[in-house]
């Protein structure tokens, strides 16, 4: 499809450059790349370091002659270093509040046999046969009491701040009682081409409304029929409903709060930030709050009169180039020449207490600043909160935070107040992975968590605690961690206590600064040789991996772990793919794993973003233990142009929530000429959260 550039919207930063045709990365359009991450892939990866200590010659040699796995090993061969002892690990697993639903272990989603959904390009949400779905909440639906009904032709800043925001991503579900729950959702980014009728709004209004359409929403949902379905409770009867947006005050906590480098004209104390931006994935804590990652925040800042030379190296490492969205013309804080510290106030993990709609959401500086995909909490053997995190950039790192204080599970009011402080003090670490050689036919090895800083002490030469937390990427570079292939969701499995990380893809793996290693084994030349799909540029790891980490001694606070690549995604007929040892002729093709989650049986659920195998994105179920370990089965696909986010399975295994983000975001599409009309309630697409369940 040829891109269209409506001439009457000259100030909009339109995604597809004139004449741009075809997709950039598989199914991912020019529009998605521009609006979501500011065309990050057009820049060299911002990690310039050369500390490829895992420059494993064996792995490289094996890579050149093909992969040893080839489906010849049994599942049992994947036991890593003889230390997999899941029985012991289970006790140390996460203790998140049970999501709504009576624990059964025999519900429909974790246990059901289903015929996988075939790859397709339909403009529909397609579930496996025997399942159905409902749309729970759409872009524009009223969230807070008194919010106006949505009208695409009458959007205002005020309405956007009261309605469900654009491009839903993370989905959390926190119980109010057995039948009612709070649905907490991120709104990652906006697509001005698809949101606004051509010529209906001034350029400045488009900017203001787009800024207001970011953030997060809390909406009350209630069980519905058939079993497993959920519907919204009306805003007028939902005192918890809340919209967090660009005018919402967020409090900075931890060592960087008040630092001179987070002070601005509007906030001379450096403690209160307006809004949260580019919120991607997240996690629900054992104490009943939601964590949300500020991801590609770097793209929202304009150069103005020029970049502040004091921060040249820091801006560069974070990809803050000053080629923003022009938002500086409607709000000077987005003009770097006027407010050079404003970007230092984004890139954090946000914590929201949805049970208290009057609470001030917080940005926890103790968890470091980078392109946070999300954060998920496990409890260590002795009760410390451990947050696992990924920095979603080619060649960036996996992180972990361990709280100084212990979680109090007594359930009292005082205990909750204590637990709400857990993420303000502790120690931040970055991961180093070392392969054990590929003679064993496996991509596996050992890992170490390298300390960066605690709240009282820096472990990085020449950097203070504040330096480390504010410029975490630069601090991590100094301790030589492993450059990973875009770490996305990193989530502990509550059943087996292992930690699973999606490494979504890496178009540059194999270049001089990023040679392959055993944890990131696919270089572009190997992919070209083995996958028939046409390539437009050096492609590296195109289909992604799922990394499985086993904490040392089963304790999430241990400083060592073992690891293996549980999945090497792609077309199962491609020789490099690996599905935990499962028979490759019996799995679904899967590409670009992004968000991960677990059902009550411990099965892994994976949503994808940017399928390069010719299908729409979707959600997959994968057992991680037993004879079916590695049996990837596609449970659903999302509509054309969309990515699948969430996903979330309720603890009774009856409901799968999926956020359908950017339906119809295909080059050339516009509000008037949509590439999708899903969910088919209007003439244009509306990003929405759906719930899938077993048909009656």
Which does residue 436 touch among Ca ion, ligand FEO, none (CB within 5 to 8 A, set by kind)? Answer: Ca ion
Choice from 339, 392, 485, 564 touching ligand FEO (CB under 6 A):
392
Which does residue 295 touch among Ca ion, ligand FEO, none (CB within 5 to 8 A, set by kind)? Answer: ligand FEO
Complex with Ca ion: residue 257 or 565, whichever CB lies closer: 565
Which does residue 188 touch among ligand FEO, Ca ion, none (CB within 5 to 8 A, set by kind)? Answer: ligand FEO
Where residue 691 falls (left for φ over 0; alpha for ψ -120 to 50; beta otherwise) is: beta
Please tell me the distance from the alpha carbon of residue 40 to that of residue 411, in angstroms, as a whole number.
44
Q: Please name which of 492, 520, 490 lies closest in space to residue 508, comparing C-alpha atoms.
A: 520
State the minimum distance, in angstroms, from the CB of residue 295 to ligand FEO. 5
At 416, list the tokens: 């909750």
Choice from 195, 280, 430, 452 touching Ca ion (CB under 5 A):
280
- Both ends of the chain: CA-CA distance in Å? 40
Complex with Ca ion: residue 192 or 594, whichever CB lies closer: 594
Q: Please name which of 374, 393, 396, 375 lies closest in space to residue 477, comparing C-alpha atoms.
A: 396
56: contact with Ca ion by CB under 5 A: no
Please tell me the distance from the alpha carbon of residue 481 to that of residue 372, in angstroms, as a whole number.
17
List Cα–Cα distances, 637 to 173, 237, 606, 614, 622, in angstroms: 22, 33, 12, 12, 15
Complex with ligand FEO: residue 135 or 280, whichever CB lies closer: 280
**Which stretch, 55-63, 328-336, 586-594, 665-673, contacts Ca ion (CB under 5 A)?**
586-594
Complex with ligand FEO: residue 169 or 353, whichever CB lies closer: 169
Beta carbons of 619 and 658 less than 8 angstroms apart: yes
Task: Give the footprint of Ca ion on residues 200-259 (CB under 5 A).
Answer: none
594: contact with Ca ion by CB under 5 A: yes
Complex with Ca ion: residue 304 or 647, whichever CB lies closer: 647
List Cα–Cα distances, 363 to 251, 290, 578, in angstroms: 6, 12, 38
Choice from 134, 259, 294, 295 touching ligand FEO (CB under 6 A):
295
Please tell me the distance from the alpha carbon of residue 191 to that of residue 196, in angstroms, as a whole number.
9
Task: Give the footprint of ligand FEO on residues 468-527 (CB under 6 A).
Answer: 488
Choice from 45, 123, 134, 188 touching ligand FEO (CB under 6 A):
188
Choice from 13, 14, 206, 280 touching ligand FEO (CB under 6 A):
280
State the minimum distance, in angstroms, from the CB of residue 372 to ligand FEO. 9
Residue matched to tokens 């509000």: 671
Beta carbons of 358 and 460 less than 8 angstroms apart: no
Complex with ligand FEO: residue 155 or 591, whichever CB lies closer: 591
436: contact with Ca ion by CB under 5 A: yes
Total of chain residues touching ligand FEO, rule CB under 6 A: 7
Which does residue 548 touch among ligand FEO, Ca ion, none (CB within 5 to 8 A, set by kind)? Answer: none
442: contact with Ca ion by CB under 5 A: yes
Complex with ligand FEO: residue 40 or 692, whichever CB lies closer: 40
Please tell me the distance from the alpha carbon of residue 251 to that of residue 272, in angstroms, as a whole number.
5
Please tell me the distance from the alpha carbon of residue 159 to that of residue 175, in angstroms, as a whole number.
28
Q: What are phi and psi of 302, to 5 degrees?
A: -90, 155
List Cα–Cα distances, 36 to 42, 70, 167, 298, in angstroms: 13, 36, 10, 11
Beta bridge partners of 219: 183
Per-residue string for binding with ligand FEO, 588-627, x by CB under 6 A? Answer: ------x---------------------------------
- Which residues of 392-438 form beta strands (DSSP E)? 394-396, 398-406, 426-435
Binding site for Ca ion (CB under 5 A): 280, 436, 440, 442, 444, 594
Binding site for ligand FEO (CB under 6 A): 188, 280, 295, 373, 392, 488, 594
């Amino acid at each position: 499809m040829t891109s269209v550039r409506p001439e009457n919207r000259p100030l909009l930063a339109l995604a597809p450059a004139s004449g741009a045709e075809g997709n950039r990365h598989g199914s991912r359009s020019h529009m998605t790349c521009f609006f979501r991450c500011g065309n990050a892939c057009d820049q060299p990866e911002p990690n310039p370091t050369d500390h490829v200590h895992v420059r494993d010659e064996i792995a490289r040699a094996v890579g050149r002659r093909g992969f040893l796995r080839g489906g010849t090993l049994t599942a049992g061969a994947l036991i890593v270093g003889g230390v997999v002892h899941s029985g012991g690990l289970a006790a140390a697993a996460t203790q998140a509040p049970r999501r709504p639903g009576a624990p059964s272990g025999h519900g429909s989603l974790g246990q059901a046999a289903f015929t996988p959904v075939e790859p397709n390009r339909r403009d529909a949400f397609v579930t496996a046969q025997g399942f159905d779905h409902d749309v729970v909440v759409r872009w524009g639906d009223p969230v807070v009491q008194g919010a106006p009904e949505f009208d695409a032709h009458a959007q205002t800043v005020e309405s956007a701040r009261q309605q469900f925001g654009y491009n839903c991503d993370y989905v959390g579900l926190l119980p109010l009682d057995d039948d009612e729950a709070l649905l907490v959702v991120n709104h990652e980014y906006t697509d001005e081409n698809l949101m606004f009728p051509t010529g209906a709004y001034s350029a400045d209004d488009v900017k203001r409304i787009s800024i207001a359409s970011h953030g997060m929403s809390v909406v009350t949902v209630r069980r519905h029929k058939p079993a497993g379905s959920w519907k919204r409770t009306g805003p007028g009867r939902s005192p918890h409903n809340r919209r967090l947006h660009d005018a919402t005050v967020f409090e900075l906590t931890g060592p960087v709060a008040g630092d001179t480098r987070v002070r601005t004209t509007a906030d001379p104390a450096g403690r209160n930030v307006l809004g949260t931006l580019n919120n991607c994935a997240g996690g629900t804590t054992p104490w009943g709050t939601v964590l949300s990652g500020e991801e590609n925040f770097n793209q929202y800042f304009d150069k103005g009169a020029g970049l502040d030379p004091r921060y040249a190296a820091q801006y560069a490492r974070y990809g803050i180039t000053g080629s923003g969205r022009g938002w500086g013309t409607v709000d000077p804080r987005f003009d770097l020449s006027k407010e050079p510290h404003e970007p230092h106030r984004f890139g954090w993990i946000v914590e929201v207490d949805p049970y208290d709609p009057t609470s001030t959401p917080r940005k926890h500086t103790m968890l470091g600043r980078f392109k946070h995909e999300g954060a998920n909490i496990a409890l260590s053997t002795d009760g410390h909160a451990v947050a696992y995190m990924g920095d979603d950039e080619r060649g960036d790192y996996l992180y972990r935070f361990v709280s100084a204080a212990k979680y109090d599970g007594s359930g009292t009011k005082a205990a909750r107040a204590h637990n709400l402080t857990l993420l303000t003090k502790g120690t931040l670490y970055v991961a180093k992975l070392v392969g054990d050689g590929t003679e064993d036919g496996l991509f596996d090895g050992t890992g170490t968590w390298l300390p960066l800083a605690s709240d009282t002490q820096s472990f990085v030469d020449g950097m203070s605690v504040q330096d480390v937390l504010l410029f975490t990427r630069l601090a991590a570079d100094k301790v030589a961690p492993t450059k990973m292939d875009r770490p996305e969701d990193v989530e502990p499995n509550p059943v087996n206590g292992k930690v699973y990380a999606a490494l979504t893809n890496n178009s540059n793996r194999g270049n001089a600064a990023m040679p392959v290693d055993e944890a990131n084994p696919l270089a572009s030349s190997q992919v070209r040789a083995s996958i028939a799909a046409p390539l437009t540029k050096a492609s590296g790891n195109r289909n992604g991996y799922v990394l499985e980490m086993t904490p040392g001694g089963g304790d999430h606070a241990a400083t060592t772990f073992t690891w293996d690549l549980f999945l090497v995604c792609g077309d199962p007929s491609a020789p490099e793919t690996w599905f935990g040892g499962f028979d490759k002729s019996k799995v679904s093709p899967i590409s670009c794993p992004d968000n991960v989650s677990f059902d009550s049986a411990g099965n892994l659920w994976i949503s994808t973003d940017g399928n390069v195998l010719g299908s729409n994105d979707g959600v997959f179920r994968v057992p991680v233990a037993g004879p079916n370990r590695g049996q990837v089965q596609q449970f659903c696909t999302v509509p054309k142009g969309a990515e699948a986010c969430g996903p979330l399975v309720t603890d009774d295994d009856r409901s799968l929530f999926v956020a359908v983000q950017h339906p119809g975001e295909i080059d050339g599409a516009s509000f008037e000429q949509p590439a999708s009309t899903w969910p088919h309630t209007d003439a244009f697409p509306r990003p929405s959260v759906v719930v899938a369940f077993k048909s009656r």
